[in-house]
């Protein structure tokens, strides 16, 4: 599959670039008749996971921007892109979840108990 994809990508498209995670992006050589624009696609570096695409390339991939955004211009508040972690050990779990090893508050936390002196 990967080989065929590479082959057809090389034949029908041209390589636009590679992002910082190693995903390779292509654009078709001819315009699709219905949309009046060329197809854009990606060959993932690793298993196929659409959430691997960083936002700079995501915009280009969905025809939002004509060219990919700069990957070097970063703001202080920008966090590094993460693929969807659901199903992996790094998935988010709320405090008190067994896997996080936290202990739940005895009252479940949905009410506030009275204590002497309060």
Partner 1 sequence: MAKVTVDGVEVEVPNGASVLQACEAAGKEIPRFCYHERLSVAGNCRMCLVEVEKAPKPIASCSYPVADGMKVFTDTPMVRNGRRGVMEFLLINHPLDCPICDQGGECDLQDEAVAYGMDRSRFQEGKRSIKDKYVGPLVKTIMNRCIHCTRCVRFCTEVAGVPELGATSRGETMEIGTYVEKALTTELSGNLIDICPVGALTSRPYAFASRPWELRKTDSVDVLDATGCNIRVDTRAGEVLRIQPRTNDEVNEEWLHDRGRFSFDGLKRRRLDRPWVKRDGKLRPATWAEAFDAIAARMKGLPGERIGAAVGDLVDAEAIVALKDLMAGLGSHNLECRIDGAAVDASRPDFWRFNTTIAGIDEADALLIIGSNPRQEAPVLNARIRRRTLAGTFPVGYIGPRGVNLTYGHDWLGEGPETLRALLDGSHRFSEALGRAERPMLILGRGALARPDGAAVLAAAWQVASRHNMLRPDWHGFNLLHLFGGQVGALELGFVAPPDLAPPGPPQALWLLGADGFDASRIPADTFVVYQGHHGEAAAARADVILPGCAYTEKEGTWVNTEGRVQRGRLAVHPPGEAREDWKIIRAASEVLGARLPYDTLAAVRARLVEVNPVFARPDRLERRGCEDKSGPAGDPGSLSDAPFALPISNYWQADVVSRASETMAECARVLLPAVPERIAAE
Nearest to partner 1 of 64, 106 (CB atom) = 106
Give the binding-site size for partner 1 (rule: CB under 8 A). Answer: 11
Report 91-110 residues binding partner 1 (CB under 8 A). 106-107, 110
Q: Does 118 bind partner 1 (CB under 8 A)?
A: yes
Tokens 């390589």 — which residue? 15
CB of 47 to partner 1, least distance (A): 35
Contacting residue, 35, 77, 92, 114, with partner 1 by CB under 8 A: 114
Buried b (16+ CB within 10 A) or exposed e, 67-79: ebeeeeeeeeeee
How many angstroms separate the Cα of 42 from the Cα of each of 4, 23, 39, 55, 94?
Answer: 14, 7, 10, 13, 34
């Amino acid at each position: 599959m990967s080989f065929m994809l590479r082959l057809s990508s090389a034949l029908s498209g041209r390589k636009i670039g590679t992002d910082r995670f190693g995903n390779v992006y292509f654009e078709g050589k001819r315009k699709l008749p219905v949309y009046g624009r060329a197809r854009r696609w990606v060959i993932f570096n690793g298993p196929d996971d659409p959430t691997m695409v960083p936002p700079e390339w995501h915009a280009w991939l969905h025809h939002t921007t004509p060219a990919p955004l700069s990957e070097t211009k970063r703001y202080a508040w920008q966090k590094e892109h993460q693929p969807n972690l659901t199903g992996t050990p790094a998935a988010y779990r709320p405090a008190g979840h067994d896997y996080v090893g936290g202990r739940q508050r005895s009252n479940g936390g949905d009410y506030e108990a009275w204590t002497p002196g309060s």
